Structure 1
């Protein structure tokens, strides 16, 4: 019991008053005083909210790409999915990589999908391309007659294989069109300083990969082919794989938007949307799931 001036009774009243005040303060969290603590008042519908509008995607777009993406059938599933998602009508021009890049340089394409990394880097470095992204890869195969007259199957690398073909003077059908496949073929010839052009055994088709494969089959010749097109056409030709699994035969694909600063009429937003789509989880899944004759034709390889 506490005693202060004013007597015992006054002291009790003072203590009770202090206790009541303390309990009153605690009441917001205990017992019958427990109530829901409200957060900040919601923003009224009339309160303006700043939002950055996404750029409007153009209604049409031109994609210049390789014949391998067309011949394999990949674009038949990839492009409709993109067009539907973005409400775009895409015109596909399937040519060799060299011609696709040239279309970009001339402003005749909005975006390119090709497979010749050195040429792609030069396209970007020269200011014609922007936002290059890895998309997918597969491999090149050397294929030829089933009796393998040049005995290419005895070799373990592409350079030695091509040397055997040249020395045996067995027929070889080249794309001859500055495509990614043609560029790879000549990179291999150059390693041995071989000059096949002008020889009777060396034939240039000037056509896409599928047509070149069929031509080689009809002529009993060797040719270089991307694995995707090979798996798509394997039942249509009388050829076999005579060389694979060489690291020099790695075949990566890249997508590049044509620089809109070069040409004012480009569908730059559609091109940007296509790059986003083909490198997204959705686009990469379409690529990874696509098969022909039970084989996966391309391995998705976008890097985020």
Structure 2
């Protein structure tokens, strides 16, 4: 019995197959991260314990309780953006520019975690600000992404009229669009962050993707080092990069989803083939996937009288 017969016999819903694929993908990713980072994490813990013992041995006036007090001071200073390496104070995180960037990370759901409101009023305001700001951000990003797509299609149509080659022209326009976006939102910011943050290129490109994908681990955050003096335009540039980069990456993800759906339909037709009408007559009425496909076909097919 081949793959086609097995799939026809089992009649596994596509949503179940996607669910199994999703769970397997997550579990495989967990195993890989475990293998790559597990031993390194143990080494970090061992190194920290050794440094702690060395610190207590060197500074005999410190005991465990005093060390915890020092650690708390360092932790509190890092939360508000103060540097302990010099005898002067800075404005901390809550300057106007950094506060504006924080507001942008709230509505975009990036949420680095490096700074958060601590007052009761700030926490309550953050809830309502995010409640209305997140939907507004999604609408604006969707509109900006559509404008980007319209510009791309207009360029493609213009070149098609000049060359007369549709597939080659569309492929070329998509390729140039992806390359320009990658350069504008990844390569250029990578160079800027490497110079102003002191990161390596791999760390900078890692930060770019973690930010624009709204994952936002918070292990690397630009405009966040209290020991560095940032120019005034840096925060404005960051906020602009985040906004337009999110729109571009969302457009790229939508293209990827479209490609995956096309591949899914291709393999479904190749493996399963066309079912007979008498076998699918009763099943299609209860199949959510079939109903969605019928509704889409109804919308796409014009009604003729």
Q: Give the alignment's TM-score, normalised by structure 1.
A: 0.21
TM-score, normalised relative to structure 2: 0.21
More strand by share: 1
Which is helix-richer, 1 or 2? 2
* Pair member with larger Rg: 1
